Amino acid sequence: MSFDLSEMQWLNPPIESRLDRDRLVVRSGKDTDFWQGTYYGFHRDNGHFLFQRRSGDFTAETSFVGHYETLYDQAGLMIRHDETHWMKCGIEFTDGARHFSVVVTNGHSDWSAFRLTEDFSEMFVRVTRMGDALFIQYRPDTRPDWRMARLAYFPPEFSELSVGMMFCSPQREGFEVEFRSFSLTEVKSRDIH
């Protein structure tokens, strides 16, 4: 799949980003993250985010392969209004394994994660915005079916949002991710069951 980056822009550009055979290959800067306060006490907004603007309801999808090595290496999708109102989801490396992770921030961040026990290479992530909700799904390349990760509240008054690919490495520099696809379309389905 080809990437059309012409209408996308970076929040916190990474140390490297290049198109290679229709794939976006990126490497993270040092100690990058998105987090607001809860439990850890710090506030960080220096993660890497390649986005375009979108209003109303939509479905965003991406697929990627990451070279996870260090605690909190992470990659996936982000939906963002501003520094204190956003959602990021995808794979995060914690406790020595890949987890599907979702952080929703409405003033303060929360974090939910579950361990991925399957052996897979590429992860597909889908987020559908419907009014006051974000419906978050995932699918490893070993499975044809989408699975629900979370249904999260997100303020409906935020009409225009930034939507795109996110990655961070809170405890190192040089985390490499290969994004293989990205799309932002009308809502694909309103069904959650």
Q: Residue 56: count other Cβ atoms within 10 Å of its Cβ.
A: 12
Q: What is the pLDDT of residue 1?
A: 53
- Give the global pTM: 0.96
Query: CA torsion 165→170→173→178, rounded to 10°?
Result: -30
| Whole-number pLDDT of residue 17 | 97
Look at residue 2 in the predicted model and tell me its pLDDT.
61
DSSP string, 52-100: EEEESSEEEEEEEEE---STT-EEEEEEEEETTEEEEEEEEEETTEEEE
Which tokens sit at 176?
A: 């490499």
Instruction: Give residue 175's pLDDT.
Output: 98
Residue 106: the pLDDT is 97
Give dist(CA 80, CA 168) in Å, integer. Answer: 15
- The CATH T-level fold of domain 30-185 is Jelly Rolls (2.60.120)
What is the rounded CA–CA span in Å between residue 62 and residue 22? Answer: 14
**Which residues of the chain are modeled with pLDDT < 50?**
none
| 172-190 pLDDT per residue, tens | 999 999 999 999 999 999 8
